[in-house]
Structure 1
Amino acid sequence: MGLARSWLYAPGHRPDLVRKALEGPADAVVVDLEDAVPPAQKEQARDAVVAICDTAADRVWVRINASGTKWADGDAAALSGSPPAGVRVPKAEDPATVAALAERTGLPLQLLIESARGLRRVFELAECHPLVAGVSPGEADLAADLRIRDRRELAWARARIVTANRAAGLPSPVASVWTDLSDTAGLAEDSAALRDAGFFGRSVIHPSQIAPVHRAFTPDRDEVQRARALLDALDVAGDSSTWVDDRGRFVDPAVVAGARWVAELADTLRDLPDDHDEPAGARPGRSNP
């Protein structure tokens, strides 16, 4: 699937909404069997997800019900027979349980940290099985469990999750949802700040959130040009590990790594629109290696 900037949730018991999501511009679609599905419709949703995975598995991830619920085993069994691109695992807390799920399904797992217990063991979770594809925060539940009222106070938890991913050799984590559908400007600013903080991509709950999220996580033209100019300057610098470029900027291997990430990201996405200047809310000159 490559790098996904947007992960659009769609309720599993509403195949009509799942189809609309798949027809839209989201980079990935997360069909939800957990919070979005009423208990009485869990079985119906699971059957619908199996049918969807049989026809559009390459873009579909499935958020299953949490371990310990009466639906968890059935979810795992169903997806083993009709595999999606991967599985989102809510309320991940126990590395042994995650490893057992990976062995059972044989699918990439994206773990959601939604409790103090999960946050405490996030480094173990990130390395508990080769099929763990990433670890991301589920901030509504995490804030509730930590009794945090202002999500800005989750900065330490976010940094811990970013560090756990990178220490395990995993991609940057996916940012949690922005729940205020009326505040597009806030979504754009917050997404740009999260990119600066080490996240890449964001879960979204409505198609209207996709465009601002894509802008925030797509390097703009000037950023890409700066990165490529710096990489071109490597030929001039030769074997020097540090130098000052023609614009007076000190350059070392860490700066080069950041530029290489931006250039590779642009090559992968290849969809910079003509009117795309600076990502909304971004701070000029910042990039996320």
Structure 2
Amino acid sequence: MGAPFPPRSYLYVPGNAADKLAKAPQRGADALIVDLEDAVPLAGKATARDAVVAWLAGRPTELPIWVRVNSGPLAEADLRALAGAPALTGVVLAKVDTSADVTAAAELLAAAGDHDTLLMPMVETAAALLDVPALARQARVHQLQIGEVDLAGELGLSPGADDAELAPIRSRVVVASAAARLHPPVGPVSTVTADPVALADSTRRLRRQGFAGRACIHPRQLPVVHEVYTPTGAEVTAARAVIALLDRTTAAGSGVVLDESGRLVDPAVLRSARRTLALADAAGVE
């Protein structure tokens, strides 16, 4: 976890839409996920794959670029085509079921001479949910992401406005990520594109639940997600004060640290302060 804190937003972009690909780097997202899976009909898979590889070859942006590949038999062709592609940060693995699927993807990339591309497995099947601790521990895995639409459909869930039905699932993915010493997982997409209040409420819920950033399906969602995941000046000041206080008291040899309000500053408080500063740094907040 020594790498920079992950992006606040990942914007999905259809891999078969040249106009959207061209505009994607200027939409304001912190990172992009070019989609070869759900956004592309079966008949257009090969054409979209070739177009995305050509787009990557042009090094279109300095933003982190991920590509979501297909599952099943199409995954191998996608991975072989993307192996070693310029500008590619990582591959999002759709509908993995077990850690063996992640291992196979990593081995395929390595066999093609690619030893650097990162992996982001999507937890969107019941099998993946059961195997999520092992998924998180596979080589090259940078973060996990939940595909809640597919997962809720398979499980027969009908989430309400507060997403209470999804809370246990989200917690399992957050815990597995922390246990594997990964960055916190990426929050799931929302289909809400015209109600910023509702989107902000659900995004704040994800932040409280331990997610780092959120995947977005429309540029309109980006400002809302960024606002939620950008610490305020007061939060940054408080976090810096906690770390400075701990440094002073540690240097003085004190074993018990209390802040100005008499609150015990323990390792959990320190981790929270460091995460706030990491979020602020990712957002460019001074």
The two structures have a TM-score, normalised by structure 2, of 0.89
Q: Cα deviation per residue 1:50-90 (whole Å; 9 max; x = unaligned)?
A: 01111237521100001x24x22210110015251100001
| Alignment equivalent of 2:20, drawn from 2, 17, 20 | 17
Equivalent residue, structure 1, for 2:284: 270
Residue aligned with 1:133, SS: coil
| Alignment equivalent of 1:177, drawn from 186, 189, 211 | 189
**Residue 162 of structure 1 contacts residue 198 of structure 1 at CA under 8 Å; is this kept in 2?**
yes
Distance 2:178 2:214 in 1: 17
Equivalent residue, structure 2, for 1:32: 35
Aligned residues: 269
Q: Cα deviation per residue 1:210-245 (whole Å; 9 max; x = unaligned)?
A: 011011111111111111111121244233343322
Shift of 1:115: 1.0
**Residue 50 of structure 1 contacts residue 78 of structure 1 at CA under 8 Å; is this kept in 2?**
yes
| Alignment equivalent of 1:134, drawn from 143, 146, 149 | 143
2:152 equivalent to 1:143: yes
RMSD over equivalenced CA pairs, Å: 1.7
Residue aligned with 1:177, SS: coil
Distance 2:222 2:10 in 1: 9
Identity %: 42
Distance 1:95 1:242 in 2: 43
Shift of 1:168: 0.6
Equivalent residue, structure 1, for 2:216: 204
| Alignment equivalent of 2:93, drawn from 89, 94, 100 | 89
The two structures have a TM-score, normalised by structure 1, of 0.88
Distance 2:96 2:165 in 1: 21
| Alignment equivalent of 1:195, drawn from 188, 207, 217 | 207
Q: Cα deviation per residue 1:171-230 (whole Å; 9 max; x = unaligned)?
A: 000000010212211111111111111100100011010011011111111111111111
Residue aligned with 2:210, SS: coil
2:73 equivalent to 1:61: no
**Residue 11 of structure 1 contacts residue 36 of structure 1 at CA under 8 Å; is this kept in 2?**
yes
Residue aligned with 2:142, SS: strand
Q: 1:241 to 1:89 in 2, by over 3 A?
A: farther
| One-letter code aligned to 1:25 | G
**Residue 7 of structure 2 contacts residue 282 of structure 2 at CA under 8 Å; is this kept in 1?**
no
Which structure 2 segments of 5+ residues have no match?
A: 110-114
Distance 1:77 1:236 in 2: 53
**Residue 111 of structure 1 contacts residue 136 of structure 1 at CA under 8 Å; is this kept in 2?**
yes
Equivalent residue, structure 2, for 1:278: none
Residue aligned with 1:250, SS: coil
Residue aligned with 2:143, SS: strand
Equivalent residue, structure 1, for 2:126: 116
Distance 1:91 1:5 in 2: 23
**Residue 241 of structure 1 contacts residue 252 of structure 1 at CA under 8 Å; is this kept in 2?**
no
| One-letter code aligned to 1:264 | A
**Residue 246 of structure 2 contacts residue 265 of structure 2 at CA under 8 Å; is this kept in 1?**
no
**Residue 229 of structure 2 contacts residue 279 of structure 2 at CA under 8 Å; is this kept in 1?**
no
Q: 1:232 to 1:271 in 2, by over 3 A?
A: closer
Q: Which 4+ stretches in 1 moved above 6 angstroms?
A: none
Distance 1:52 1:241 in 2: 56
Q: Which moved more, 1:210-219 or 1:49-58?
A: 49-58
Equivalent residue, structure 2, for 1:259: 273
Residue aligned with 1:132, SS: coil
Q: Cα deviation per residue 1:23-51 (whole Å; 9 max; x = unaligned)?
A: 22101111100001111111111011101
Shift of 1:142: 0.7
**Residue 184 of structure 2 contacts residue 210 of structure 2 at CA under 8 Å; is this kept in 1?**
yes
Q: 1:241 to 1:194 in 2, by over 3 A?
A: farther
Distance 1:81 1:95 in 2: 23
